[in-house]
Structure formats: structure tokens, C-alpha cells
Amino acid sequence: MYISEVSISNIRAIKFNKKKLFPHINIIYGKNGTGKTTILEGIYLLCSGKSFKTNNIENLTNKFLGEAGAKIKTNTGTEILIKIKEKKKQ
């Protein structure tokens, strides 16, 4: 089983980003501040329930856009979703 798709919304500077992933190796590249680490942080958040960069949930979300979240899909059709609303994870 592998992660086939990652969706991030309103986490840090990313308003919405959806990336398809492939088996084996994926390379995420881009200029500084474009959301590369945020994509990895979203995957980590879904797997562990916390951020690797901050303990404060307010620092993770974009305060001005309301509800935030992340979702991954696997090649077997399994979906994992986390929503952050009013400073609480669901």
C-alpha cells in the first residue's frame, strides 16, 4: 500500500493543494515558501496527529481562512482525513 494522493487546505501558506503521488520515489521541488515542507507536514499530521514543526495548532493553520485540513488516499482506496476547526483537530 502507498499514498497515491495528498490534499492540503488552509495549512500555513497553502490555500489548497492536491498532489498525486506514485509508487517508489516522489520528488517535491520548488522555490522557498511555496509549500514543499507543508505538504510533508500534512502527511505527518495525518499519520501522527501532530505537527513536527509546532505544538500550537494556531501556528499550523491559516487563521484568516477558517477550517483547515489534510487528506490522503492510498492506492487501495483508503482515505484518512483530519480537520482543524476552532483550534481543535477532528
What is the arithmetic mean of pLDDT over 22-46? 89
What is the value of pTM for the model shown?
0.77
Q: Within 10 Å of residue 56's Cβ, how many Cβ atoms? A: 9
Q: For 35-65, what is each residue's pLDDT tens digit?
A: 888 888 888 888 887 777 777 666 677 665 6
Q: Which residues are CB-contacts of 45 (< 8 A; sequence separation ≥ 6)?
A: 11, 51, 60, 70, 82
The DSSP code sequence of 38-70 is: HHHHHHHHHHHSS-SS-S-HHHHB-GGG--EEE
- Distances from the Cα of 41 to the Cα of 38, 60, 76, 82, angstroms: 5, 9, 23, 12
Q: Which helix (H) or strand (E) holds 36?
A: helix 36-48
What is the arithmetic mean of pLDDT over 25-44? 89
pLDDT at site 35: 87
Among the listed ranges 2-6, 23-27, 34-38, 54-58, which one has the minimum average pLDDT value? 54-58
Higher-scoring residue by pLDDT: 30, 90: 30
